[in-house]
Amino acid sequence: MLKILLKTRLISLLSRFTSGGKTSSTMALTTGPLIVLSVLGLAGGVGLMFVIGNAIRPFFAGLAVAGLEWLYYAIGTLVSLAASFMLTVFYAQNAIFEAKDNEMLLSMPVSPSAILGSRMLSLFLLNLGCIAVLMGGLGVARLNAYPPTVSGIIIFVLVVLLLPFISTTLACLIAWLVSLVTRKMKRKAFFQLIFSLLFMVPLFLLFNNVNKYMMDAVANGSNIAETVRTGLPPFYMAGMAIAMRSWKYLAIFALICVVPFAILYFVLTKSFIHIATARPTASNTVYEEKELHASSVTVALMKKDITRLLNSSSYMLNAALGVPLSILIGVIALFGGMDMLLSLLDISAGSSSNPALFPVIGCMFLCMTCTFTYISAPSISVENKSLWIMLSMPITAKQALRSKLFFHLVLALPAMLIGCVLFTVSIGVTDSWA
């Protein structure tokens, strides 16, 4: 049963990329698309490995010369773990604790351990794919400098296979806590959105400044090595196991990876029925008599789209990020000045001899944030199964398209105007710029 459930989870996940937005029940994943997707994914992963390997070769060379090769692997495992955790923690919440088919599976002769095991294994495989690509880049940089050894390759592969246990454990634990907190929230989509940004912003800053961090690590290798040795023992064990080809350190690292995973799986198995069937506490609502106002077809459809957007954190994160960014650009320019704004482009404000370029740069930033706002474009795909309901109504195509246009403008236009006003106030308006 576990094998069947795991296969179903993986097919459902892969179908999202091959079914053109349709569900697996309307377009099953066939062998052809599966093979094409697997080949493309493998080719992309291998290509990314070599890109990462070539980029971090100086980092490996600097630490190897200093006799800190283990630190190279320790930092690599830490970054790989952090990246895979941040990319899969949101999937864990929806796929394990808030899956729509939890109650249906529990009503069948399927054990909770099999249900939970299949979902945790699918999450493990996602983490493994991410970690394999990042750790593969570390291996490419190492192979470019020194020839490999059999024991070194075996230990490196085993570390890669063990590392997803930690990221899966952390993702499940955080997703469980977030699910418990958001069950009783009325606006949990906003909480999930903020939670997502709190994880994505550090990840973006890390990869945006990765060259600087690598140079700092090489320059302060001894200090960082001591910090990792005393404060991050799992990564110290992983680094020593690979660099020293030590089976002793590998065994300790394996225990650190597998034991917490097994404990969490045991705890979640015992409480999975309660977690899957829990319902948020219903609040008492006092009826207030209000006068109903009729809306036009366009306005009614627009309100429907806005409600759907505000109730989906993934929708807001992927398609409406430009709305807060448009305001943020104006706030940065107003309170941080042109120095902070230009620093985003690695341009020194003092080096610019023509202040008249500042409005052009601000306009460029605001236009860039506009490209992050495309909430109307995917709105039809988001409706998916319920689209036939609107098609069955006496609604013209012109009314539907007009509602999509207003849906976009009512959110994007005010944010852009606020950003423009704040930026204009920050730089001032003179006759020479008029």
The structural domains of the chain, with segments of one domain joined by +, span: 2-9+32-277, 297-433
User: Cα separation of 109 and 320, whole Å?
Assistant: 42
The gap from C-alpha 312 to its chain's centroid, in whole angstroms, comes to: 15
What the block records as the tokens of 276 is 């899957």
Q: Give the Cβ contact number of residue 2 at 10 Å.
A: 15
- Given this model, what pLDDT does residue 24 score? 43
Instruction: Give yes or no for a contact between 85 and 171, defined as CB atoms under 8 angstroms apart.
Output: yes
Cα 262 versus chain centre, distance: 25
**Residue 106 CB neighbours (<10 A):** 15
Both structure tokens of 360? 């052009």
- Locate 422 and state its tokens: 């704040």
**From residue 183, how far is each of 15, 108, 277 by CA, in Å?**
28, 25, 11
**CA–CA separation, 310 vs 89, rounded Å?**
21
The one-letter code for the residue type at 284 is N
DSSP string, 395-419: --HHHHHHHHHHHHHHHHHHHHHHH
What are 82's two structure tokens?
């952090």
- 283 alpha-carbon distance from chain centroid: 32
Determine the pLDDT at residue 302.
87
Q: Tens-of-pLDDT digits for all 434 residues of the chain?
A: 667 776 676 666 665 554 444 444 444 455 666 677 778 878 888 888 888 888 888 888 888 888 888 988 998 898 889 888 888 877 777 777 766 676 777 777 777 788 888 888 888 988 998 899 989 988 888 888 888 889 989 999 999 999 999 999 998 888 888 777 776 666 677 777 777 777 677 766 666 666 676 777 777 778 888 888 888 899 999 999 999 999 999 999 999 999 999 999 888 888 877 776 666 554 556 667 777 777 788 888 888 888 888 887 778 878 888 888 888 888 877 777 666 666 655 554 454 445 666 777 778 888 888 888 888 888 877 776 777 777 788 888 888 888 888 888 888 899 989 988 888 887 765 444 44
